Structure 1
Amino acid sequence: TLEEALAIYAQPKQRGRAAAKPPLKELGADPVSGKPVVVKDGRFGPYVTDGETNATLRSGDSVEAITPERGFELLAEKRAKSPAKKTAKKAAAKKTTAKKTASTAAKKTAAKKTTTAKKTAAKKTTAKKTTAKATAAKAAED
């Protein structure tokens, strides 16, 4: 009805992500990082997190039965598997992108020079062809 439609239009638009869900279970402070460890429900199932490192629960683990020791163990395994800190990766990525932009800039200037040379050469050849055709036409008329 008209009233229902107006009520729907009066509601604010929903944009972006939904609000973060509260943790399913709290396991206490992590002995390594000292941060509180909680169990959350994510897109790919439940996981344990200390706010920095996330470790997915295994198929044998359930949210209700997981112990703090098991949560700390999962986080320790994840930290051992994970590569070096992201800050080192970001610095290396910045260096490689700087090198790439410098090399692409050099390639672009070289490409511009060659394309301008090709364009002028193409114009000359078309001009020669038209003069050759005009000369042949004049000779045919005579």
Structure 2
Amino acid sequence: MLTELDDTLLHQAPLPFASVSTSDHRFYDRYWFEGFAPDGSAGLIVSMGRYANMNVLDGFVTAQQDGRQYNVRFSRALRPAVAETRVGGLSVSLEEPLRVLRLRLEEGDHPLSCDLTWTGSLPARLEDHSFSRVQGRAVSDMYRFAQVGT
């Protein structure tokens, strides 16, 4: 299956973008954002994950304030819209690569909504390669990057 990303010069494997180069069903890409009030009275986590070998894009927003927690979750089939970072009322937009992202949660039948701009305060840092085995079986093989922002 071809997608709009296949018309770019960004391929990293001899495959169309709708496919990944591993058969591991757990393979994923994920956005993860966290923010907390210094006194612990409020917190917010926003995440969106792409699970190519399970044909799933999902996401959630969880907010905590004054001892109460609120959760909103979404899920959809990944294909054919593999490049779209929108699931239900949640979207993540890349405004400036490795620096600025926009997180939006539309109003709905839940108590949360937001329109946030996340801006990196420091350059993104690629973490060391992580590979682990348990009893000879590969259980984790990943690279991640982390970045502090506001």
Using the size of structure 1 for normalisation, the TM-score is 0.25
Q: Which of these two proteins has the greater Rg computed from alpha carbons?
A: 1
User: Comparing both structures, which one devotes a greater share of its residues to helix?
Assistant: 1
User: Comparing both structures, which one devotes a greater share of its residues to strand?
Assistant: 2
